Amino acid sequence: MAGIVSPVHTVKVPTVSVLVPTWRRPEALARCLRALAAQSVPPGEIVVAVRADDHESGAQLDAFEPSLGVRLVRATPAGPGVVAAMNAALARCSGDIIALTDDDTEPRADWIERLVRAFTDPRVGGVGGRDWQPLERGDRADVGRVQWFGRVIGNHHLGAGPARAVDVLKGANAAFRAPLLRALGFDTRLEGAGAQMFWELALCLPLRRAGWTLVYDPAIAVEHHIAPRHDDDLRHRGIFVAAPQVQAVHNETLALLEHQRGFARAAFLLWALLVGTRIEPGLVQLPRLVARGDDHAVARWRSTLEGRLRGWRHWRADPRADAASRVPRPAS
């Protein structure tokens, strides 16, 4: 009918903040920043957490800022460890979606474009993908899953096949809705002064309990160049050090005990103490590791046991703690 103008409905395109913690790897950071600036859908901002005493990385940011073409924000952590770094950066992020990656990754050109597309489903709270590593290849279908008795299956760097729901994403290649991430924060109870392993577990499991879907899509990809670390958290580099082993097992145990309920919680403790894995051995694994010539078998078992007990005591000190209660629920 003449004179009537149909309303124009516009769809808001979400803004993306990319959060990058860094520590004494300026060359790797430069490669990561170049890849983020070359995205097919550019980020609204790149927020880099850099310690005040990391002068080389700070100088790298100073050199990049004038010509990067993307807003570059610097966050200064209050202390050591990736949790403090990411919380400092989170406080400076302004986007609707907060993407996470490591300073030694090189996101592919369509990384942000694919991440944003995956959030069109309002029930999706987090999205992640494959981090391609230089020395390990192969395809796995079972990725990012926590078995009912508590065994954690990673394989994010080997995932293949279609997009699917998972229990946990990997921090080198993940993104979350900003209100969810702000409601949770990164768990400051986790032990360690470096990588603080299993922080992803402490973040993702409450989101799952709150009813959000986490999606892993291997097509959302970054190249993960695995740069050297400058702290003692080297377990994921295949190097055993007692203190980080205790800290990692504590973190995993605390996150899993808070996630599980009833019989599953008891089954986890029984499995972890008696069986475990090659990396986190229980009592039954110990003679197998000794027979295979693992020089650190006894020390690994002792450290794992100490970590389990510390995680259990931490959970027992506040068994009602449930981060999921702080998270808004998805719309039905």
Same domain, yes or no, for 220 and 243? no
Residues 59 and 170 in one domain: yes
* Six-digit token string for 173: 């290649």
The CATH number assigned to the domain holding 55 equals 3.90.550.10
Would you say the pTM of this structure is higher than 0.75? Answer: yes
Q: Are residues 186 and 287 in the same domain?
A: no
Q: Are residues 54 and 145 in the same domain?
A: yes
* Domain range enclosing 180: 16-224
- Domain shared by 178 and 314, yes or no: no
Strands 124-132 and 213-224: parallel
3 state SS of 6: coil
Q: Is residue 219 part of a domain?
A: yes
**Structural contact between residues 96 and 177, judged by C-beta atoms closer than 8 angstroms:** yes
The sign of the CA dihedral 226, 35, 63, 54 is negative
| Cα 22 from chain centre | 14
In this structure, which amino acid lies at residue 272? A
- Residue 1, in any domain of the structure: no
Do 187 and 249 lie in a common domain?
Answer: no
- Residue 11 included in any domain: no
DSSP 237: G
Is 314 a domain residue? yes
Domain boundary among 179, 194, 224: 224
25 & 164 share domain: yes
Phi-psi region of 172 (alpha: psi -120 to 50; beta: other; left: phi over 0): alpha
Residue that terminates a domain, selected from 203, 224, 245: 224
Number of structural domains the chain divides into: 2
265 in the same domain as 156: no
Question: Helix, strand, or coil here: 223?
Answer: strand
CA dist 124 and 118 (Å) reads 8
My answer on whether 240 and 216 are in the same domain is no
Dmax over CA atoms of the chain, in Å, equals 87
Full pLDDT tens readout for the chain, 332 residues:
445 554 555 557 899 999 999 999 999 999 999 999 999 999 999 999 999 999 999 999 999 999 999 999 999 999 999 999 999 999 999 999 999 999 999 999 999 999 999 999 999 999 999 999 988 889 999 999 999 999 999 999 999 999 999 999 999 999 999 999 999 999 999 999 999 999 999 999 999 999 999 999 999 999 999 988 766 666 666 678 999 999 999 999 999 999 999 999 999 999 999 999 999 999 999 999 999 999 999 999 999 999 999 999 999 998 777 899 999 999 87
Q: Are residues 104 and 174 in the same domain?
A: yes
Same domain, 59 and 200: yes
The token pair at 65 is: 């800022």
CA–CA gap between residue 267 and residue 150 (Å, rounded): 8
Asked if the structure places residue 10 within a domain, the reply is no
**Statement to judge: residues 220 and 239 lie in one domain:** no
Last residue of a domain, one of 224, 254, 286: 224
**Residue 182, number of CB atoms within 10 A of its CB:** 14
Quote the CA–CA distance of 108 and 216 in Å, as a whole number: 16
The per-residue DSSP string of 257-292 comes to HHH--HHHHHHHHHHHHHTB-SSSB-TTHHHHHHHT
Residue 95 belongs to some domain of the structure:
yes
